[in-house]
């Protein structure tokens, strides 16, 4: 069941990537003690703008206990490589 | 309009009111200070919020290393705020001490003022006997720290009066004469006791005035034993 779900998720991801893929980079925090991170996240085409992405990203981050501070920008695959190093372990993590 | 009289209880009343106001003022001022102390010190989160602000505003601070440094900054801020909290406790204890000291000072101040007033009254009321020691063998009576020599008869009269005072008794002249001479009181005359009292007053009063007022300086003469400044001639 789990495997099946993952597979379908991967398929969806691949499918959307095949489309005009949409990504965003953001800043997030976690309290007590304060921890911060910069990450890159993939967005569905329906939320492919700085304004629309915020609620989408916030909901996905809160699953990991993180709180969204700011959506910095929205970009496509061409912007991925330059951000990969900076995002580190938070590159496409959520 | 105020009455043309003064009473001793009046200043004491205003004095206690002053002290109550003073204590109240001290307590109010210092509790306000304590409240300000506790409300104005930043809480532990203030440092975290400042670091968060830096992180959001600066887009350059997104590498893993700089983020790590920001987190360390926030942690050191949190540690510092714990130090501040302990300082706050210490300052609060000091404020309590200050309150206690100021209140004590006020009370002592009032005590000093009342004591001064009382001393002034004592000074005005003349001689105040604080000790009377009778030494029968030497025929000497010590009033406060002044020694007076008495004749045997005057000593006897004074002893009788002192004993009666200890028992809270009032003696008539006849009773005094009876106790000194040893005869029954019905056989004694009132006038004999009165004479004894007169002699005692004469000898004691004479010595007391010469000690306190009209001094005799040997081979030189006589002089008033008082401060020049207190003399006024009308």
Residue B180 near residue B162, CB atoms below 8 Å: no
Q: Contacts of residue B55 in chain A, CB cutoff 8 Å?
A: 27, 29, 36, 69
Q: Contacts of residue A35 in chain B, CB cutoff 8 Å?
A: 71
Residue A38 has which token pair? 């910069």
In the beta sheet, which residues pair with residue A74? A24
Q: Using CA atoms, how far apart are residues A2 and A8, in angstroms rounded to an integer?
A: 10
**A41, HSE (Cβ side, Cα atoms, 13 Å):** 29
Residue B194 near residue B201, CB atoms below 8 Å: no
pLDDT computed for residue B101 by the predictor = 92
Chain B residues with CB within 8 Å of chain A CB: 48, 51-52, 55-56, 59, 62-64, 67, 70-71, 74-75, 78
Q: Contacts of residue A85 in chain B, CB cutoff 8 Å?
A: 63
Please tell me if residue A17 touches chain B, with a CB cutoff of 8 Å.
Answer: no
Residue-by-residue pLDDT tens, chain B, 234 positions: 555 655 555 555 666 777 788 888 888 988 898 888 888 877 767 888 889 999 999 888 888 888 999 999 888 888 888 888 888 889 889 989 998 998 899 889 889 988 999 888 887 776 778 888 998 888 899 888 888 899 988 999 999 999 999 999 898 889 999 988 888 888 888 899 999 999 999 998 888 888 888 888 888 888 888 888 888 888
Chain B's closest residue to A40, CA to CA, is B62
In the beta sheet, which residues pair with residue B142? B133, B147
Q: Nearest CB to A36: which of B59, B71, B78? A: B71
CB-based contacts of B174: which residues, under 8 Å, 6+ apart?
Answer: B185, B186, B188, B189, B190, B192, B193
Q: Nearest CB to A86: which of B48, B56, B63? A: B63
CA–CA min distance A40, chain B (Å): 11
pLDDT computed for residue B4 by the predictor = 61
Q: Using CA atoms, how far apart are residues A41 and A20, in angstroms rounded to an integer?
A: 15
pLDDT computed for residue A77 by the predictor = 87
Q: Using CA atoms, how far apart are residues B163 and B69, in angstroms rounded to an integer?
A: 95
pLDDT computed for residue A83 by the predictor = 87
Q: Nearest CB to B56: which of A25, A27, A88? A: A27
Whether the predicted interface score ipTM is above 0.90: no
Please tell me if residue A27 touches chain B, with a CB cutoff of 8 Å.
Answer: yes
pLDDT computed for residue B115 by the predictor = 92
B62 with A38: Cβ contact below 8 A:
yes
Q: Contacts of residue B78 in chain A, CB cutoff 8 Å?
A: 33-34
pLDDT computed for residue B63 by the predictor = 86
A27 with B64: Cβ contact below 8 A:
no
CB atoms within 10 A of CB B201: 13
Please tell me if residue A69 touches chain B, with a CB cutoff of 8 Å.
Answer: yes
Provide the pLDDT confidence category of residue A17 given band limits of 50, 70 and 90.
very low
Choose from B64, B68, B80 for mutation: most chain A CBs within 10 A.
Answer: B64
Please tell me if residue A82 touches chain B, with a CB cutoff of 8 Å.
Answer: no
CA–CA min distance A28, chain B (Å): 9
Q: Which residues of B90-123 are buried (b: 16+ CB within 10 A; e: fewer)?
A: eeeeeeeeebeebbeebeeebeeeeeeeeeeeee
Q: Encode pLDDT of A23-51 as tens digits.
A: 999 999 998 888 899 999 999 888 888 88
Chain A's closest residue to B48, CA to CA, is A34
pLDDT computed for residue B200 by the predictor = 92
Helix intervals (H) in chain A: 2-18, 50-62, 80-87
CA–CA min distance A56, chain B (Å): 19
A36 with B52: Cβ contact below 8 A:
yes
Mean predicted confidence (pLDDT) in A69-91: 88
CB atoms within 10 A of CB B155: 21
Residue B125 has which token pair? 């009321």
């Amino acid at each position: 069941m789990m495997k099946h779900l993952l597979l379908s998720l991967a398929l969806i991801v691949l499918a959307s990537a095949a489309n005009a893929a949409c990504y965003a980079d953001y800043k997030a925090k976690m309290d007590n003690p304060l921890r911060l991170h910069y990450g890159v996240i993939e967005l569905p085409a329906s939320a492919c703008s700085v304004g629309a992405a915020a609620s989408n990203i916030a909901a996905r981050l809160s699953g990991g206990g993180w709180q969204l501070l700011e959506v910095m920008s929205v970009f496509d695959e061409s912007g991925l490589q330059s951000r990969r190093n900076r995002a580190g372990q938070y590159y496409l993590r959520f | 309009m105020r009455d043309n009289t003064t009473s001793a209880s009046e200043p004491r009343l205003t004095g206690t009111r002053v002290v109550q106001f003073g204590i109240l003022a001290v307590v109010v001022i210092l509790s306000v200070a304590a409240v300000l102390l506790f409300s104005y010190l930043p809480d532990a989160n203030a440092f975290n919020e400042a670091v968060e602000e830096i992180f959001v505003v600066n887009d350059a601070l997104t590498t893993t290393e700089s983020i790590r440094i920001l987190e360390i900054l926030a942690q050191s801020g949190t540690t510092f705020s714990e130090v501040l909290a302990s300082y706050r406790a210490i300052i609060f204890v000091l404020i309590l001490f200050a309150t206690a000291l100021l209140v004590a000072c006020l009370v002592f101040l009032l005590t000093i003022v009342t004591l001064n007033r009382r001393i002034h009254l004592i000074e005005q009321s003349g001689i105040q006997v604080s000790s009377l020691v009778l030494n029968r063998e030497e025929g000497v009576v010590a009033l406060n720290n002044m020694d007076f020599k008495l004749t045997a008869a005057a000593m006897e009269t004074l002893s009788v009066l002192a004993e009666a005072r200890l028992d809270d008794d009032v003696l008539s002249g006849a009773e005094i004469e009876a106790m000194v001479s040893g005869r029954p009181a019905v056989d004694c005359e009132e006038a004999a006791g009165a004479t004894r009292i007169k002699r005692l007053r004469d000898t004691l009063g004479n010595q007391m005035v010469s000690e306190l007022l009209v001094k005799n300086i040997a081979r030189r003469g006589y002089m008033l034993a008082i401060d020049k400044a207190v003399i006024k001639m009308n």
